[in-house]
Amino acid sequence: MPDVNAWIRKNSVPLDPDEIQEIDHSSYVVSGRRVLISFNVLQAAGSKIFSILFQGFRLIPFQIEKHQEVTRIAFIVDPQQLARRIRRFKPLLIPLKAILPKVLPRLLIKAARLHIVKMKDMAEGDVSVVFSRLGAEPTVVVKQKEFLSIKLEKVVQTAMELYSRFKIAELKPDFDASEKPARIEMIVRDSE
């Protein structure tokens, strides 16, 4: 892993106070910290929903075994059985299709507003993504002792290069290869 602070210093441009004030007035500043907190809340809620749907309704049967600091999760994925079970939920989709188009846009706007901050309110170590209302390229702003700006394109490109070094693709199961039930096992170690 590269030294993140060194990479930020090498690829960033310091912002002066006038630029910061202009960004606050002419841009949307999305707080990385708030996005991360929202993600953690949604992840916890999602795991409960996952547990209810997949274990309670037996969409994808799984077993959980806990031994000291290790949790082993075994899924049995049967595409044909899963398709039959999902069809049972089709009547529930009718009210959702009527409600979601009216409610979802409002919820998304409110959720987006929760993540917008002023640059002057950023604490040291905060990272925000700045989207200009005037059409300028999006940037990432890091507050260290000063505000440092990096083009979002450069950050995404570097993240993709780092991601490509990992062998994530080898870990994904190939569901297209067979229509037979597949057993997937995961081992999770508790971290402190």
State the pLDDT at residue 35: 92
State the pLDDT at residue 138: 94
d(CA 74, CA 6): 41
Output the six-digit token pair for 113: 């507003």
Nearest to 61 by CA among 88, 82, 47, 87: 82
End-to-end CA separation in angstroms for the chain? 21
Please tell me whether the overall predicted TM-score, pTM, comes out greater than 0.85 for this model: no
d(CA 163, CA 140): 19
State the pLDDT at residue 172: 62
State the pLDDT at residue 190: 64
Task: Render pLDDT for 99-136 as a digit per residue (tens, 0 to 9).
Answer: 889 999 999 999 989 999 998 888 888 999 999 998 88
State the pLDDT at residue 81: 78
Percent with pLDDT over 70 in the chain: 84
State the pLDDT at residue 84: 82
Is the distance from CB of 53 to CB of 150 less than 8 angstroms? Answer: no
CB-based burial, 83-95: b 16+ in 10 Å, e otherwise: eeeeeeeeeeeee
Hey, what amino acid is at 66? K
Q: Cβ contacts of residue 181 below 8 Å, gap of 6+?
A: 76, 77, 78, 81
State the pLDDT at residue 191: 57
Enumerate residue ranges in the chain where pLDDT < 70: 1-2, 55-56, 167-192
